[in-house]
Structure 1
Amino acid sequence: MFKSILIDGLSRTQQTFHGVLAGISADDANWQPTPSSNSITWQAWHAAREIDMQIAGLAGTSDVWTSQGWVDRFALDLPRDAHGYGQTPEEVARVVVADTALLTGYYDAVVAAANQYISSLTEQSLAEVIDRAWDPPVTRAVRIVSIIDDAAQHAGQAAYLKGLLAALGDCGDDDDEDSSVL
């Protein structure tokens, strides 16, 4: 039961990003409100990278970014292992795409890998303490909840940016169909 809740939580971030990216141009997705702000593109890429890296670390596998060639498809002007943590505004501005389908494709691949990993876990492995540096110590289940929470925050920030674009009249999606993500 708990595994299905984790999978559901992860799918909600995926659905939010799909809704945010639906009907907007790459230019809109790449837009930054200020030079030191994150774009929708950065939010989606970073959320997927953090899920990818942390799940790969938990599973003891390679991340989807490199193992499935997403690093080459994105061809970012950044180190191949970049993930968004601690990036300068100049580095953030280099996270751009020509097609938003690249973002949803990578996010979908990451969620599929995460769901496969979560499905393989037992109650015992979910309860296993994996980080004693915290008080209380962090279990595998708590770490996955933390991953989902971080992704949900980035999804909310991306939805806010889409709403801001619409309010400024710059968003290519004038349709209220996706207003649930705003």
Structure 2
Amino acid sequence: MNTAEILQDGFGRVVESVERTLDGLDEVQLTHRPTADANSIAWLVWHLTRVQDDHLAAAFDVEQVYTTQGFAQQFGECFDHDPSDTGYGHDSQQVAAVRAPAELLQEYLGAVHAQTVALVADVSGDDLDRVVDERWDPPVTLGVRLVSVLDDDLEHAGQAAYLRGIVPA
């Protein structure tokens, strides 16, 4: 396997996990929170997709799927939010506000995944050292950003899968 194939496989695993989690869930189940401050499946999936979309678009200097393919507007019909919001730092009320059908969550993830696969298709080991964010010390390289996003996505996908197991039928 080369670098691009490893990255594509990793991001593909996020999609597979989320698809299994979302399968057959209704809005009540998607927004169920076992405690008042817990995240819901809907929030976790929306957030992990927003972070992947936002961070990879910035790293590769392309537009986000969220705005270019109309997802900001579609999600805006489900809950009130700023289209630049990724969910980072959301409080309990903001988490509770995230409501969307499984089909929309899955469609958005699929579109982001398609862009991700295209963006990483030509990434080589040498590309991983390119600095993509100088706001940090040390500056963030493409390799660090890709692993960070993949780690965050898989962690949230696992949390959503866990919630799926305890959500009332």
8 Å CA contact retained: 2:3, 2:124 = no
Secondary structure, counterpart of 1:23 in structure 2: coil
Deviations 1:23-65 (CA, angstroms, capped at 9, x unpaired)? 2212101111122111000000000000000001011111111
Q: Which runs of structure 2 are paired with 1:4-43 in the superposition (5 Å)?
A: 4-43=5-44
* TM-score, scaled relative to structure 2: 0.91
* TM-score, scaled relative to structure 1: 0.85
Q: Deviation at 1:73?
A: 0.9
Q: Which has the larger radius of gyration?
A: 1
Measure, in 2, the Cα distance between the counterparts of 1:140 and 1:83.
20
Q: Where in structure 2 are there 5+ consecutive unaligned residues? A: none
Q: Deviation at 1:151?
A: 0.2
Measure, in 1, the Cα distance between the counterparts of 2:125 and 2:44.
32
CA RMSD of aligned residues (A): 1.5
Secondary structure, counterpart of 2:25 in structure 1: coil
Measure, in 1, the Cα distance between the counterparts of 2:130 and 2:4.
14
Paired amino acid for 2:50 = R
Q: Where in structure 1 are there 5+ consecutive unaligned residues? A: 172-182
Detail structure 1 runs of 4+ shifted over 4 Å in the superposition.
none
Deviations 1:122-180 (CA, angstroms, capped at 9, x unpaired)? 43322323346345x54212210111000000000001101111xxxx22xxxxxxxxx
Paired amino acid for 2:144 = V
Q: 1:146 to 1:154 in 2, by over 3 A?
A: same
Residue equivalent to 2:89? 86
Q: Which runs of structure 2 are paired with 1:136-147 in the superposition (5 Å)?
A: 138-147=140-149
Secondary structure, counterpart of 1:120 in structure 2: coil
